Each structure stands twice: as structure tokens, then as C-alpha cells.
Amino acid sequence: MKNILSNVVMSEGFGNGNLVNLEDLFTKKGQYIAATFQTEKKGSAMHKNVKLEKRTSGTFRAGINFENLSTVKEGIANGERGEVQPLSWGKWEKFPYTILHTPKNQTEEIRYVRLYPSINPIHKVSVQYLVNGVETTKENFASFLTNSEAKEMLEGGKEIECFTVMHKNLLKLGKPFNG
């Protein structure tokens, strides 16, 4: 089998051109791992030149089939959700770890990594909000977004069962955090 990640190196920071090595992740099927990833958000028209970053850290599991999650099975059994469908926007590169997607009007594939937050109460997912590189509160961060995005962020919703993270946005993978 071809090594799909032969050109991947360890990352020490966001956007530095290096990618976190996923080979170790592939050996940790269902095991707890620490991960940190960062995403950039677009500000409202009034704040389009403001750099908005959201950094998420926590203990996760990878290599899990989404349809086997107890919350998914219970939701289907209770009629709260439909059956799990195949991917509609990409293809599995290495099931159930990585997905490849080619955005519309582009030719280059983007790799995504599936991470599932720990259900153990001692493993909390934490989020750091940055405006122009300076840490701020969630409420202040939301004030730079469009009204609809701010409302969604502040009012929240149900807990996220699965994060699908662009590989290039993954900052670190390692041993699980202890609390």
C-alpha cells in the first residue's frame, strides 16, 4: 500500500507550511489523544480586515466510525435523526481517519481529519479566541462576526459529536491531557 503521508512533517505552528504527521494517529484507533487545531473566521463587512482565529484544544479519539457512536445509535433508535449517510462532499482517503475534498472551481484536494471529543467529563475541550493575535473573550470575538454567526456562536446548540478539521489547521497531536 502506498504511504499517503510520505511528505508530511511535524508542525510547530499554524500556517508555517508544515503539517502535523498523522502516521501515529493511524495506530491509535479509538484511543485518547491530545489535539490542538486552529481555524480562521471571516469577520463581518465592517471587520473584514480583522484577523479572527479560534484555537481548540482537548482530548479526542480518532479512527471511530461515526455510525457506531452511542449518541448516533440512540438518536436513530429514538427517531431524533435519520440513518447515517455516505459522505456527500468528499471521499475517504483512509477510513475512518481522513477525508479528501476538492473545493468547487479548484483542482487541489484538501485533506480533513476526523476527531471525536472525549465523552469523559475530566477531558474538557477548551477554546481560545484571538482577535489580531490577542486573546479575547468569546463575546468580544463574536462581536466581529456577522449577526447570524455571532448568534449561532453565543446561543450554541447541541454538543459537537465530531470535528472535521483541515489537516493544515491541525497544530499538535500527542499524549492525552490530564484534565
28 against 102, higher pLDDT: 102
Reported as a pLDDT band with limits 50, 70 and 90, residue 167 is very high
| pLDDT for the residue 27 | 87
Task: State how far the Cα of 73 lies from the Cα of 103, in Å rounded to an integer.
Answer: 31
Residue 62: is it exposed, middle or buried by C-beta count within 10 angstroms (0-12/13-18/19+)?
buried
What tens digit of pLDDT does each residue of 80-98 get? 888 888 888 999 999 999 9
Task: State how far the Cα of 177 lies from the Cα of 179, in Å rounded to an integer.
Answer: 6
- Using the predicted structure, report yes or no on whether residue 6 has a pLDDT greater than 70: no
| pLDDT for the residue 23 | 87
**What H or E segment, with its residue span, contains residue 150?**
helix 147-155
Q: Fill in the DSSP letter of residue 99.
A: E
- Three-state DSSP state, 130: strand
The residue type of 70 is S
Instruction: Name the grid cell of 35.
Output: 489535539
Mean pLDDT, residues 34-51 taken together: 95
The answer to pTM > 0.85 is no
- Using the predicted structure, report yes or no on whether residue 12 has a pLDDT greater than 60: no
- Using the predicted structure, report yes or no on whether residue 76 has a pLDDT greater than 60: yes
Task: State how far the Cα of 25 lies from the Cα of 93, in Å rounded to an integer.
Answer: 14
- Using the predicted structure, report yes or no on whether residue 156 has a pLDDT greater than 60: yes
Task: State how far the Cα of 17 lies from the Cα of 116, in Å rounded to an integer.
Answer: 25
Instruction: Name the grid cell of 26.
Output: 493511524
